[in-house]
C-alpha cells in the first residue's frame, strides 16, 4: 500500500517538484498540497496523510506553528525543508523540537543540477519515516518501556536497566555519541539532563551540513548546563565539555600522554558521511582509549557499527537507543544485530544512566 503524502510549501515550483519526485515512485501517493501552514493543518485533518513535507518559512502560518498544531491535533510524521542559512538551521531545530521527525536542506540549485540524487534521497527519507511512523518519544500517550541489556553485561537474562548498569565499571574517560535522523532532538534531551560539573568529556558526531552543525552547537550551549561547542582542530577534551563534529569534516581523537585532543580533517568525496561516526569511533580505538562509553542513537543506515566493533575490541562499553524511542531504528539496530550492544536504552533513560556510570 502506497504511503500517502501531503506536500506543503508556499512555492508552487517546489510543491510541483517534490510531488513529481515522489509520485514517480509507486511507493508514494500524493494526496494533496498546501501553500501555507494554516491550510496544512486543515488538510492534515481532512486527508490524514502518512507523511507531510513542510516548508519552514510560509505566509499566514509558518511551518513551526503548523507542526505544533498538527502534533497536538493529528500527530503525523513531518519532514521539514529549510534553507542552508544559520537562521534556517535554527528554525529547523525549533520545528524538530515541536515534533517534526526529519529535515532536508531546501536547495533549488541541487534540485536543478542533481535531480536524481535529490529525488533518491527524498524518497528514502519519506519512505523511512512513513513506514516507521511516529516513535513513542513523540507520542505522549504511550508509556516507554524500561531499557534492556542486550550484551555481556546483561547476560541475556532480561535484567533491569538499573541492575545491568550496576555491573558497569565507573572508569570511563570519554563519552562518544553517534547519530543521524532524529539525532538533534535526542542529543538535546540527553545533554540537558547533565549537570554543569559532569565529570567526563563528550564528543558527538551528527550527520548534518556545516551551517547546521554550527547553529546546533550554539543552540545546545544556550540550552544546556554543560559547555557545548563545535569542535576546532586542536581542541582538548575535558570534563563538562561536549564537542560536536563540524559538518563537511571528519573528527579524529588523538592522545598525548593522558590528554586527549581533536584533529579535524577535510572529508573526501568518496566518504558517504561528513562527518562519519565510524571514522571518529575508529580513531578513539586507535588512540588506545579503551575506557570509552560509546553510544549510537537514532539514525538511518549503519554508520557507527564498524567503529563500535573497533571500540568493543578495545574494551569499550556500547549503548544503543531502543527501537521504541528511535525516529529511525537503523544505526542502533545495526550495532545491536551485530552483537555489539551492552545496553539498549530508551531516550529518556539515557541521561540518568550516564550519571550512574560516570
Any catalytic annotation for residue 207?
A: yes
- Cα distance between residue 97 and residue 95, in whole Å: 5
Q: What confidence tier does 10 reach under pLDDT thresholds 50, 70, 90?
A: very high
What's the chain's average pLDDT?
Answer: 89
Considering the domain 148-357 in this protein, what is its CATH number? 3.40.50.180
Catalytic annotation, pick one of 82, 83, 179, 180: 180
pLDDT-derived band of residue 307, with 50, 70 and 90 as boundaries?
very high
Average pLDDT over residues 332-346: 97
- What is the CATH number assigned to the segment(s) 3-134? 3.40.50.2300
- Reply yes or no on whether the pLDDT at 121 is more than 50: yes
* Choice among 278, 303, 322, 342 that is catalytic: 303
Contact predicate 181/101, CB 8 Å: yes
Q: What is the largest CA-CA distance in the chain?
A: 63
**Catalytic-labelled residue, pool 102, 128, 164, 207:** 207
Mean pLDDT calculated for residue range 28-48: 97
CB 344 within 8 Å of CB 320 = yes
Q: How far, rounded to the nearest angstrom, does the alpha carbon of residue 54 sit from its chain's CA centroid?
A: 18
172 is catalytic: no
The question of whether 137 is a catalytic residue gets the answer no
Grid coordinates representing 256 are 598525548
The DSSP element (H or E) to which 229 belongs, if any, is strand 227-230
The Cα 168–Cα 151 span in angstroms is 12
pLDDT tens, residue by residue, 66-82: 999 999 999 999 999 98
Domains 3-134 and 148-357 are alike in CATH topology: yes
- Per-residue pLDDT band for 136 (boundaries 50, 70, 90) equals low
Give the pLDDT confidence of 246-278 residue by residue, as tens digits: 999 999 999 999 899 999 999 998 999 999 999
Supply the pTM of this predicted model. Answer: 0.87
Instruction: Tell me the domain boundaries of the chain.
Output: 3-134, 148-357
Amino acid at each position: 500500500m502506497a504511503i500517502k503524502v501531503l506536500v506543503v510549501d508556499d512555492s508552487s515550483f517546489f510543491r510541483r517538484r517534490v510531488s513529481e519526485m515522489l509520485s514517480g515512485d509507486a511507493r508514494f501517493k500524493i494526496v494533496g498540497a498546501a501553500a501555507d501552514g494554516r491550510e496544512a493543518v486543515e488538510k492534515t485533518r481532512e486527508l490524514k496523510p502518512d507523511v507531510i513535507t513542510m516548508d519552514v518559512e510560509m505566509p499566514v502560518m509558518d511551518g513551526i506553528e503548523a507542526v505544533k498544531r498538527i502534533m497536538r491535533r493529528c500527530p503525523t510524521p513531518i519532514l521539514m525543508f529549510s534553507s542552508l542559512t544559520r537562521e534556517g538551521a535554527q528554525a529547523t531545530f525549533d520545528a524538530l523540537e515541536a515534533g517534526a521527525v526529519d529535515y532536508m536542506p531546501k536547495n533549488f540549485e541541487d534540485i536543478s543540477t542533481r535531480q536524481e540524487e535529490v529525488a533518491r534521497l527524498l524518497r528514502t527519507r519519506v519512505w523511512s519515516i512513513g513506514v516507521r511512523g511516529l516513535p513513542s518519544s513523540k507520542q505522549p500517550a504511550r508509556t516507554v518501556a524500561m531499557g534492556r541489556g542486550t550484551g555481556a553485561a546483561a547476560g541475556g537474562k532480561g535484567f533491569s536497566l538499573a541492575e545491568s548498569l550496576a555491573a558497569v565499571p565507573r572508569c570511563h574517560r570519554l563519552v562518544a555519541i553517534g547519530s543521524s535522523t532524529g539525532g538533534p532532538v535526542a542529543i538535546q534531551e540527553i545533554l540537558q539532563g547533565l549537570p554543569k560539573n559532569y565529570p567526563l568529556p563528550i564528543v558527538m558526531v551528527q550527520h548534518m551540513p556545516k551551517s547546521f552543525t554550527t547553529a546546533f552547537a550554539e543552540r545546545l550551549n544556550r540550552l544546556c548546563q554543560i559547555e557545548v561547542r563545535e569542535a576546532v582542530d586542536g581542541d582538548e577534551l575535558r570534563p563538562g565539555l561536549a564537542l560536536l563534529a563540524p559538518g563537511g569534516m571528519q573528527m579524529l581523537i588523538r592522545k598525548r600522554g593522558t590528554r586527549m585532543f581533536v584533529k579535524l580533517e577535510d572529508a573526501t568525496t568518496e566518504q558517504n558521511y561528513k562527518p562519519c561516526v565510524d571514522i571518529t569511533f575508529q580513531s578513539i580505538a586507535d588512540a588506545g582509549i579503551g575506557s570509552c562509553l560509546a553510544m549510537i542513537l537514532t539514525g538511518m543506515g549503519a554508520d557507527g557499527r564498524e567503529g563500535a566493533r573497533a571500540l568493543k575490541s578495545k574494551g569499550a562499553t556500547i549503548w544503543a537507543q531502543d527501537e521504541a524511542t528511535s525516529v529511525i531504528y537503523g544505526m542502533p539496530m545495526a550495532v545491536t544485530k551485530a552483537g555489539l550492544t551492552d545496553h539498549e536504552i530508551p531516550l529518556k533513560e539515557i541521561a540518568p544512566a550516564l550519571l550512574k556510570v560516570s
